Amino acid sequence: MIEIQANFKDVDWKRLKWMFSQGIFSFLGKVRHDVRRLGEGGYKYLKTIIPVSNLPKPHLRDSFKIRTEVIKSGVQLQIYTDVLYSWFLDLGAQIPPRSYPFGGGKYYTAKGRKFMRFRGKDGRIYYRRKVRGGVIKGIHFVDRGESWLAKNVWHYVDPTLGRYL
């Protein structure tokens, strides 16, 4: 969550108090618009970090959603995804070796034995009873995205609020 703290000049503060007394909250909509633009910039940055997936669907790069909301202390920005494997790609994972009873995917029988079926990098189909494990190195897109947002917030949002009043 990004919280914005602003210091006002006396003239701006009086105008802001007058706007609140009249029920004019249009400047919050303008701040929200700029925070939304910040979120879209952060999303474009995330797309440069996250590699292109070879999976058929869903792709993590294209699954992010941006939501802004006016709350008591300011405007809240959320960039989130519903893709289940996003945490493993972010933090990294140790994949254990798999044999037939364990592991997902489709099982096929050949002469009464069960196998897992995989498509190799060369496009051929392989049947294996056991599959070795590996390590997925994390790309830490959450930390890098948050640091990008913190570094670029003032390029999108006016800290003096002079543009909104």
Q: Within 10 A of 15 (CB to CB), how many other CB atoms are there?
A: 14
From 36-50, 80-94, 123-137, the region with the lowest mean pLDDT: 123-137
Do 84 and 3 fall into the same domain? yes
Residues 6+ apart with CB under 8 A from 7: none
Do 62 and 30 fall into the same domain? yes
pLDDT category of residue 135 using cuts at 50, 70 and 90: confident
Specify the number of domains making up the chain: 2
Do 115 and 49 fall into the same domain? no
Do 74 and 49 fall into the same domain? yes
Do 125 and 141 fall into the same domain? no
**Mean predicted confidence (pLDDT) in 128-156:** 87
Do 54 and 82 fall into the same domain? yes
Residue 42 or residue 106, greater confidence: 42
Give the closest residue to 95 by CA, choosing from 130, 135, 140: 135
Using the CB atoms, write b or e for 74-94: b if 16+ within 10 Å.
bbbbebebebeebeebbeebe
What distance in Å separates the CA atoms of residue 130 and residue 4, rounded to the nearest whole number?
Answer: 54
Mean pLDDT of the chain: 77
Do 124 and 44 fall into the same domain? no
Q: Which domain holds residue 116?
A: 97-132
Listed ranges 9-13, 72-76, 160-164; the one with the highest mean pLDDT: 72-76
User: What pLDDT score does 83 carry?
Assistant: 86
Do 4 and 81 fall into the same domain? yes
SS3 141: helix
Percent of the chain with pLDDT over 70: 73
Do 147 and 83 fall into the same domain? yes
Do 41 and 101 fall into the same domain? no
Do 24 and 70 fall into the same domain? yes
Do 60 and 76 fall into the same domain? yes
SS3 126: strand
